[in-house]
Amino acid sequence: AQKITQTQPGMFVQEKEAVTLDCTYDTSDPSYGLFWYKQPSSGEMIFLIYQGSYDQQNATEGRYSLNFQKARKSANLVISASQLGDSAMYFCASGGGATNKLIFGTGTLLAVQP
């Protein structure tokens, strides 16, 4: 069974600083994907970044990058130059195989302070 662990229930960061949100995963699938989603208070889930288990390079999308360490089974999200609009809940998720089933972690609530 797959499991996602996010050990930081909440975090504060100053505007314009970088922040790292932790995520570790446990899966028996030989091929899998790791996802990060942002959920503002309005409720919708916004896709941020994806890393495939066979990808050689860490994924980057604008201010978001994924620090993928396969041996340590970690997939941390790095947000550079934090903005006030980054304040939200962040979820790490894994998916694998032939289905679209995503397993989510418990999330990290990020608060960006001016």
Partner 1 sequence: KAGVTQTPRYLIKTRGQQVTLSCSPISGHRSVSWYQQTPGQGLQFLFEYFSETQRNKGNFPGRFSGRQFSNSRSEMNVSTLELGDSALYLCASSFGTSGQYNEQFFGPGTRLTVL
Side-chain-facing half-sphere of 97: CA atoms under 13 Å: 10
- Comparing CB distances to partner 1, the nearer of 25 and 37 is 37
- In the complex, minimum distance from the CB of residue 40 to partner 1, in angstroms, rounded to a whole number: 11
Instruction: Draw the binding track, 29-58, toward partner 1 (x: CB under 8 A; -: no contact).
Output: ----x-x-x----xxxxxx--x-x------
The per-residue DSSP string of 4-50 comes to EE---SEEEEETT--EEE--EEE---SSEEEEEEEE-TT---EEEEE
Q: Please report whether residue 112 would count as binding partner 1 according to CB under 8 A.
A: no
- CB under 8 Å to 15, separation ≥6 — which residues? 82, 83, 84, 112, 113, 114
Q: Which is nearer to partner 1, 39 or 74 (CB)?
A: 39
Q: Which of residues 83-102 bind partner 1 (CB under 8 A)?
A: 91, 93, 95, 98-102
Interface contacts to partner 1, rule CB under 8 A: 33, 35, 37, 42-47, 50, 52, 91, 93, 95, 98-107
